[in-house]
Structure formats: structure tokens, C-alpha cells
Amino acid sequence: MEHILLCTSSSLLLLFLFNSIPITSQFPFGSSKQAHDHSNITCIESERHALLQFRQGLIDESNHLSSWIGEGCCSWEGISCHKITGSVLKLDLRNTVPLYSDEDYHCTNCLGGQLTPSLVNLTNLRYLDLSSNNFSGIQVPAFLGLLKNLRYLNLSTAGFDGEIPHHLGNLSHLRYLDLGDSGFSQVWNSLSTKDLGWVVGLSSLEGLVLSLVNLIGAQNGLRSINMLPSLTTLELYSCDLFIHPPLSQVNFTSLAFLDLGENNFNNYMVPHWLRNLTGLHDLRLGNNNLSNPIHGLFDQKTSLVHLDLSSNRFDVSTLKSLCNISSLTYLDLSGNNFQGSIPSEIGQLSKLTILSLSGNSLNGTIPTNLWQLTKLQDFDVGDNSLTGVLSEDHFAKLRELKSLGLTGNSLALNVSSSWVPPFQLHEIWMGSIIVGPRFPAWLRTQNELEVLYMRNASISDAIPSWFRVLCHNITSLDLSSNSLTGNPLEFKQLKHRPSRYRYRDISLSSNKLDGSLKSLPLDISYLDLSHNFLTGHIPQLEDGQTSVVQSLLLNDNRFTGTIPEDLCKSENLTFLDLSNNLLSGRVPPCVGNLRDLIVLDLANNSLSDQIPSSLGKLGSLTMLHLNGNKLVGKLPASMQHLRNLKILDLGDNELKDIIPAWIGERLSNLMCLRFQSNNFHGPISDTLCQLSSLQVLNLAHNNLSGFIPHCFNNISAMVSGLHGRYTGYSQESLQDIKGGREVEYYAFSLLLVNSVSLSANNLVGEIPDGIMELVQLQVLNLSQNHLTGTIPKKIGNLKQLETLDLSMNALFGAIPESLSDLYSLNSLNLSHNKLSGPIPSGNQLQTLTDPSIYEGNSGLCGKPLPNNCWEHKSPTKNGPIHDDKGHSESDWSWFYAGIGPGFAAGLSGVLGILLFKKSWRYAYFKFIESACDKIWVKTTRLRRKFR
């Protein structure tokens, strides 16, 4: 709605400007009547010849210039002449047919080719319009500067490229110049200029349109334009314009229309010279990151009708300052920093037809007097924090309303089932507010509805039969994330749909719809029925039918049967998601015909047979999910042609192959590679190290053998954290092992994942030090292999590590102290190895108290295991451990270490003397015998005494 009004406003201004040019009174604006009005005017022969030469340089596929024959050039299509002299005054070759293009973006209605200098011979030419054509990147001809009598020159949206020739500055009589671009066409200009000084020569200029012209090099641009005192219309939308240093004096004070939108002036204040433009009718400063304007900037803007300050950094004080501009009919303040409640003063703007306050931080209720703005056609307060219950009374006076935006607030709509609204809405935006629980019966009265957005609107009801008829006219329907029940809608194609509504978007995902889908829509470009309970077969097209669907999302239902080959007739298909169903059979080889396919997700079905080699034809494919099926055989070599592939998930199948070298050599854009739970065998190819953008590598649960490649440190995305550009879609997901369990990462969270899982294979050798350089790793799982050696001491480099699993290997030696440096670690498993020595303590390791993570290592001791190990205790990083008597553990270790050798040395000395010295030996045994006699005598006397 906003774009329509914006274009209408611009068109009215241009029409006003055009009507002010005196030559326009001599011929009609359109060209359809020219043949009748100029049938008796004699054509100047030299000018007729010049026109024929001009035509020879053009490409006219639609035969638009078929009337350019015969002698009377004044009656040719697009030509108007002077009524008396016969001089050609007007050449209007503007393409008025909508630029609908085929798959090659080729405009069949456009003129193209070259512009020949023969136009210079049209010496009295005052009006030249070549806009909305396609000249395929040619430069704007410098000879146009020789058409000295030109008043009107329009080359907009016509495929021109390069530097604007400064020769255009010679057109001193020019009143209107449009070199800009609409930004909404498949054909566009790509013009630039490093110096706008040439515009100073356009002293008569009243309208200048340079929208989307690159002015980043023209730092004098605004100063040069300021030299045009007659200027009434200035459009500099999205030009990378410089507004600093500010203008000291403003000469274009006659400006009525000024568009400086989307130039990103980056925290500058609103230019103070705008205060002097008191005659402005239309001011557009949106998307500039401007901060609060100077005080009283709009006090003198008594003629201002259209004001766009969207997507800036203004606060609520700005909002209040605008409430005195009683002439306003259009006010867009969306996307600013408004906080607090909506000022009730806005209710004073009684002429408002468009009001947008969306995308701010406004809270509280909607002021009562806003519902008194009886001329409102577009009212949008979406994506704020507004509260309250809206009843029928709130809308009683909004009879002109065409678009209502309430999405993303804490609002509730409470109206009776018999309510008949006073308006006929074209657009309804009520997502994430409370509309239910019953299906809104008042929608039945809205016969002009084109857009209906009630996503997550708390509707728990069956779709009524009358809505199935209403929705045939709706071009964009989103009722997803409710609890709708019943059968899905029947999507019937309207035979006489207006051309601008050729295609429809339908989303009914995340509901409770059941039953079968009777037919596929033929005029719906986006269809999302995912996350329901739909059953039966995916329907086939009837003979001779073709579908325009571009996105087909039927995932997470209960569809059975095979994938219909009729889907291959949908040549425009870019997103196809049939995952998480009960589909069987093979992947149709004809899928290779879908050359525009970007996402193909057939995961978690029961598909069998081999992967068809035709998939190698899908050169645009970025995501391929075939995981969770029963696919067998080898990877087709043709898959090496999928150069744009970012995600390749073939996990949980029965594939039997080696890891082909071409994966690393050809698929250089891969970010996620998942082959988990297949029958891949042989070594891990070193070529995987060439995948510099790889973030997820999951080869777990296969039969891989050999060593872990030492070159993993070449995977720069896991070293630097600089990831490639991700082009996923909202339902994109990837399964991976984390913390000993399988988890699913969704959508853009994939950008945050860095994981290597090689578990449950037959890998041997040591853990390479190269892995310790992958400092962005969050998951490292090397469990259930035959790895030997020690845990690398540099394990502490992996500061981002959250999950570490090295269990069920043959690792030996001590656990490195640096393991305690892993502050993010929340899952650890070192069980069933041959590790020994004390378990490091401190930091994050103190929170991992489950002894099972160390079990099966008989040589380990210390917490959380029950056995202490004083003899194995080594000093901690925080200093030696002291006992209660002040002796350190190392002191007692030396003491105990000396007892054994000392005792052995003393005993050896005594025995040696007794062995080699007879006299000592006799004396020693005599002493022993005497001692034994004395002991015997004493024990005998004691026995007798006790008797």
C-alpha cells in the first residue's frame, strides 16, 4: 500500500511538472491518438531519415515500431510534430507494458540495441523519453548534449551503465532530467558520476531525479545542485550522498518534493538548511540513521503533506513535535527509537490517511483519539509493546481503512461473531496477537482482502467452509502456528486473476490439519503446509498442467507413497522440502531437471536405491539433505559438479564407499559435511583439509581406518572463525552429536556451530597436534577408535570447546593440566582408556563431578574418583598442597622415599660383617643364645608361680 501511494505521489508531481512545459499543449501526453492528430502534418524529410537511422540501431523484438513506415513520420508511434512546421518535437518510446520477464530475465517488451547519433538531426526535439527499456549496459550517449532545445529527458530504468557524460550540462533549456532507477524492476540503470558540477549548466531545471545513481565520488554534489534556483523536484534516493559540510545558504528554496532517503548519513543531525524549505509538500528522509532534528525544524512546514522519517534514530520528542503539522496526510515514523506511550496529540492530525509507527518500543494502550482519525486508510503500529483489548467500538469510525497492522504486540481482539466491520480491508496484519480461539467470523465480510497475516494468533478452530471461497482471492495468506483443524484448503486457480496478482503465497504450517491433499496449486509460488498431520500421497498434476510453485514445503507430515515425478514439471522450483514423512521408493532421476533448485531436503523418509547421478545437474544447489533414509551404493561422481553446495548431509543411510577426493577438491564452498552412520571405509582423505569454510565435519559411525589427517589446521573457518556467507532458509536444520547425544541445529544457528565428530570408526595412531589449532571448535568427538599416545598438552588451546569425548581408545599417560583451561567445557568423557596419574582440578573441571567420565582408567586417581593418590599427587597450578603441620606434600614424599633405601643399607652392613668376621659372628650368636636362655628361665618361673 505504501509503495502504491509513494508511486502515485511521484507520478502526480511529474505530471504537474510535465504540464507546465509549454510544448505539451501542442500534442497529447499519450501516443495512442497521435496517428489521428498528425495525419495531415507534413513530415520533414531529413528528420524522417534521421528517425529511420535511429530505428536501425534498435532491437525491437515486440515490433513496437511497426508503424514506422511510409512518408508521414508525424503519425508514427511515439512521434509528435509541430502543427505548422512539421518539426519533430517529441519522441516518446517509454515502455508502458509491465516488465514481466522469463527465466533468463529477458524483457521481451523492451527496446534495446544502440542509440545512433542521427538523433542530433532532430534539431527542434524538446521531449525524449526512452525509460523502462533495456539497453543492456550501454553508456548514456554524449551526443545527447547537442540536443539544445530539449526540455524533457527521461532515461530512467533503461539498462544504462557507466559514467554520466558531463555534456548533458549543455542542455540549458532542460526542465526535467531523470537518470534514476525505481529499484523495483528486473532492468535497471547502473550509473555514476564523480563530479556533479555539470548540473550547474542546467539553469532552467525544475525536476532532477538521480535515484540509485552512485554519487559516492561526487562530494560536491549537493553544492552543485544548490545552484539550481528553479528546482521544485529533487530525488536523490539511495545515492551514497554527502550532506557534509552543510550548505551555508540554500538557493533551491522552491523545492516542493525532496527525497534523500536511504543515504545512511550515519548519526548526523537533520540538515539545518531544511528549515528554509518552507514550501515543501513532500519530504522523505527514511533509512538514513539520522538523530534528533534541530528544535523547531518543522514549525514553518505548513504545506507539508507527505513526511517519511522511517528507520532513523529519532526519539519520542520528535514524534510530539510533528503533531502540529495539521496538513499532514502521510506520516511514516516506523523503525525509530520511540519509547513510552503513543502521544495522544497525534489525534490532532485529522487529515492523516497513512500512519505508521511500527518497529519502535512503544508501550501502553493505543490512545482513544487515534481511533477518531476518520480518514485513515493505512494504520500500522506493529512490532511494539502495546497492550490492551480492542473491541468493535475502537473501529467504529474507521470507514476508509484499507490496511490494518497490529502484529507483534500484546493486544487482544475481542469482537462478537456477528460483527460487521465498517471497512473493507485489503491487508490485515494481526500476527502474534490474540485473535482466537474461534476462527474470526468477521473475515467473511471482507470481500476485497488481498493479504491476511494471522500467524500465531491463538486460533484453535476448524477452517470454515466459507473461508475456502474467500481465500481464492487472497494473494498472501499466513495462518501458520495456530491450532487449525480439518482438511487442508482446496487450492483452485482463478482463470481471470489480475496480472499483478498472478501468483499467491500460502502458509498453513504448524497447525493440526489432517486428511489428504487433493491437488497441487497451479498459481501459488509459495506453499508451506509443513508440521501438520496430512496423510495420503503427494498429488500429481493433471495432464498438460504446469505449476509455478517456487517453494514447496510439505515436511513433517505423514505423506506416504513415492515422490511423484510430476514435481519435475515445476521448472521454477527453488525450495523443495519433503523431509520427515513416510515416503518410499527412490529419488526420482528427473529431479535433475529442476535446474533452479537451491534447497533439496528429502531427509528422514524411507527412500531406497542409489543416489541418482542426475543430481549433479543441479548447479545452483546449496543444501542437500538425504539423511535418514535407506540409500545404498556409492556417491555418484557427478556430484562433484555441485560447486555451490554448502551443506551436504547423507548421514544415517547404507552408503558404502570411500570418501572421494573430489569432495575436498571440488566442493570448496562446503560448510557442513555429514556422513554419519553409513558404511564408508578406507582412510579419511587429506583433501578434506582443503575445505577452508568447513564448520561441521561428522564422519562418525562408519568403518574408516588409518590415521587422522595432520592437516586439519588448514580448515580456516575452525581456526579463525571467519565463516562463509550462509544462504539457508528458516526451516534449515542439521543433526549432529553434542554431549553424547544427537541434537538439531536450526536455521542461522548453523553459523555458530564448529564441530568435528570421527567417533566409532577404526582410526589408529595419535591425536594430531593440528587439531589443537582449531581454536573455534565447540565439539570434538574421537571416541570408540583405536587411538594411542597421550592427550596433546595443547588441548587447552581449544577455549571454545563445550564437548570433548575421547573415550574407548587406548590413550595413556597423564591427563594434561591444560584441560582445566577449558572454561566452556560442559561435557567430558575420557573413560575406558589407559590414562594414569592424578586428575587435574580447578576451574570448569570442578563442575564435572560424574566419576563415570573417567571410569575404565585403572591408573587414575583423585576427585571425582573415590581413590586418593598421595603418592601420585603433583603440585597444582595454584602452588603446593600443605598438611596440617606445615610440611608440604613434597617434604613427606622425600621422607618416605628415604626410609626404604636406608633400611636396606643398614641391614646389608650388619649382615656383611657377620659373614666375614668370625669373632663377631661367634659373639653375636653367643649373645643370642644367652638371651634366649634367660628368657626361657624367666618364663618357666612365671608358669610355676601361677600354678
How confident is the model over 167-208, as pLDDT tens digits? 999 999 999 999 999 877 778 899 999 999 999 999 999 999
Instruction: Indicate if 928 and 886 belong to the same structural domain.
Output: no
Span of 438-442, 695-699, 750-754 with lowest mean pLDDT = 750-754
d(CA 319, CA 346): 8
Q: Output the CA torsion sign for 868, 873, 875, 877.
A: negative
**Residue 896 placed within a domain:** yes
Segments in 794-917 forming alpha helices (H) = 889-916
The amino acid occupying position 857 is: N
d(CA 349, CA 686): 70
Instruction: Indicate if 890 and 947 belong to the same structural domain.
Output: no
Place of cell 565463516: 723
d(CA 69, CA 671): 60
For residue 69, the domain's CATH number is: 3.80.10.10
- Give the tens place of pLDDT for each residue, 673-707: 999 999 999 999 999 999 999 999 999 999 999 99
Instruction: Indicate if 902 and 923 belong to the same structural domain.
Output: no
**Residue 431 dihedral angles phi and psi, to the nearest 5°:** -75, 145
Instruction: Indicate if 39 and 70 belong to the same structural domain.
Output: yes
For 200, other C-beta atoms within 10 Å of its C-beta total: 15
d(CA 523, CA 546): 9
pLDDT band at 399 (very low <50, low <70, confident <90, very high): very high
| CB contact at 8 A, 630 and 608 | yes
Three-state SS at 568: helix
**Residue 789 placed within a domain:** no
Cell numbers for 90: 517529441
Domain endpoint, select from 182, 200, 218: 182
What single-letter DSSP state applies at residue 174? -
Instruction: Indicate if 78 and 26 belong to the same structural domain.
Output: yes
Span of 539-553, 713-727, 927-941 with lowest mean pLDDT = 927-941
d(CA 416, CA 414): 7
d(CA 903, CA 897): 11
N-terminal to C-terminal alpha carbon distance within the chain: 126
Q: How many domains does the chain have?
A: 3
Mean pLDDT across 897-913: 61
pLDDT score of 79: 96
Cell numbers for 679: 558404511
pLDDT score of 497: 47
Q: Per DSSP, what are the bridge partners of residue 127?
A: 90, 152
Question: With pLDDT > 70 as the criterion, what percentage of the chain qualifies?
Answer: 82
Three-state SS at 169: helix
Q: Output the CA torsion sign for 720, 725, 731, 735.
A: negative
Bigger pLDDT: 746 vs 837:
837
Mean pLDDT across 347-376: 96
Span of 21-25, 54-58, 339-343 with lowest mean pLDDT = 21-25
Instruction: Indicate if 928 and 900 belong to the same structural domain.
Output: no
pLDDT score of 901: 63
d(CA 282, CA 176): 18
Bigger pLDDT: 727 vs 841:
841
Domain endpoint, select from 154, 182, 210: 182
Cell numbers for 375: 480518514
Place of cell 498459481: 523
Mean pLDDT across 508-536: 92
**Residue 603 placed within a domain:** no
Which of 323, 330, 380 shows the shortest CA–CA distance to 357? 380
Which of 238, 231, 242, 250 shows the shortest CA–CA distance to 214? 238
**Residue 655 dihedral angles phi and psi, to the nearest 5°:** -70, 140
pLDDT score of 10: 44
| CB contact at 8 A, 794 and 769 | yes
d(CA 303, CA 298): 10
Q: Output the CA torsion sign for 148, 150, 155, 156.
A: positive
Q: Is the pLDDT of residue 870 over 60?
A: yes
pLDDT band at 723 (very low <50, low <70, confident <90, very high): low
Q: Is the pLDDT of residue 915 over 90?
A: no
Residue 495 to residues 200, 498, 539, 560, Cα–Cα distance (Å) = 54, 9, 21, 31
Q: Is the pLDDT of residue 21 over 50?
A: no
User: Residue 909 is part of which domain span?
Assistant: 880-913
Cell numbers for 856: 575404565
| CB contact at 8 A, 513 and 483 | no
Cell numbers for 928: 643370642
Measured in residues, the chain has a length of: 947
β-strands 58-60, 111-113 pairing: antiparallel
pLDDT score of 867: 86
Place of cell 544462504: 727
Residue 453 to residues 378, 436, 531, 903, Cα–Cα distance (Å) = 15, 14, 18, 91
- In which region does residue 637 sit, left (phi positive, over 0), alpha (psi from -120 to 50) or beta (all else)? alpha
Dump strand ranges (E) for 721-805. 733-738, 741-746, 755-757, 762-765, 779-781, 786-787, 803-805
Residue 827 to residues 665, 769, 779, Cα–Cα distance (Å) = 34, 21, 9
pLDDT score of 185: 73
Bigger pLDDT: 747 vs 437:
437
d(CA 52, CA 642): 49
Prediction pTM value: 0.81
pLDDT band at 925 (very low <50, low <70, confident <90, very high): low
Three-state SS at 8: helix
Q: Of all helices (H) and strands (E), which one includes residue 233?
A: strand 233-235
Mean pLDDT across 326-333: 96
Instruction: Indicate if 119 and 103 belong to the same structural domain.
Output: yes
d(CA 161, CA 658): 51
pLDDT score of 902: 63
Segments in 552-617 forming alpha helices (H) = none
Per-position DSSP letters for 370-424, written without gaps between them? GGG-TT-SEEE--SSEEEEEE-GGGGTT-TT--EEE--SSEEEE---TT---SS-
**Residue 173 placed within a domain:** yes
Residue 869 to residues 536, 812, 886, 889, Cα–Cα distance (Å) = 65, 18, 20, 12
Three-state SS at 445: helix
d(CA 607, CA 586): 5
pLDDT score of 81: 96
pLDDT band at 529 (very low <50, low <70, confident <90, very high): very high
Place of cell 564422519: 699
Listed in sequence order, the residues at least 6 apart from 694 whose beta carbon sits closer than 8 Å to its beta carbon are 670, 671, 672, 673, 688, 715, 717, 718
The amino acid occupying position 479 is: L
Q: Per DSSP, what are the bridge partners of residue 658?
A: 681
**Crossing angle, helix 889-916 and helix 918-946, to 10 degrees?**
100
Domain endpoint, select from 182, 214, 240: 182
Mean pLDDT across 433-441: 96
pLDDT score of 32: 38
pLDDT band at 644 (very low <50, low <70, confident <90, very high): very high
pLDDT score of 543: 67
CA 85-90-96 angle, to 5 degrees, is 150
pLDDT score of 747: 46
Instruction: Indicate if 97 and 159 belong to the same structural domain.
Output: yes
pLDDT score of 499: 39
Cell numbers for 919: 669373632
What Rg do the C-alpha atoms of the chain give, in angstroms? Answer: 41
Number of H helices, E strands in the chain: 10, 54
Listed in sequence order, the residues at least 6 apart from 11 whose beta carbon sits closer than 8 Å to its beta carbon are none
How much is the mean pLDDT over the chain?
86
Instruction: Indicate if 886 and 946 belong to the same structural domain.
Output: no
Cα 468 to chain center, whole Å? 33
- Give the tens place of pLDDT for each residue, 590-611: 999 999 999 999 999 999 999 9
**Residue 498 placed within a domain:** no
**Residue 718 placed within a domain:** no
Cα 38 to chain center, whole Å? 55
Mean pLDDT across 36-64: 87
pLDDT score of 306: 97
Cell numbers for 502: 498472478
Question: With pLDDT > 90 as the criterion, what percentage of the chain qualifies?
Answer: 68
Instruction: Indicate if 897 and 922 belong to the same structural domain.
Output: no
For 19, other C-beta atoms within 10 Å of its C-beta total: 11
Q: Is the pLDDT of residue 929 over 70?
A: no
Instruction: Indicate if 928 and 902 belong to the same structural domain.
Output: no
- Give the tens place of pLDDT for each residue, 846-869: 889 999 999 999 999 998 998 887
d(CA 333, CA 318): 10
Residue 861 to residues 788, 795, 840, 850, 895, Cα–Cα distance (Å) = 21, 20, 10, 14, 22
pLDDT score of 22: 42
**Residue 294 placed within a domain:** no
**Residue 518 placed within a domain:** no
Burial 899-915 (b: 16+ CB within 10 A, else e): eeeeeeeeeeeeeeeee
Listed in sequence order, the residues at least 6 apart from 554 whose beta carbon sits closer than 8 Å to its beta carbon are 517, 529, 530, 534, 538, 577, 578, 581
Instruction: Indicate if 117 and 143 belong to the same structural domain.
Output: yes
Q: Is the pLDDT of residue 14 over 50?
A: no
Q: Is the pLDDT of residue 528 over 80?
A: yes
pLDDT score of 259: 97
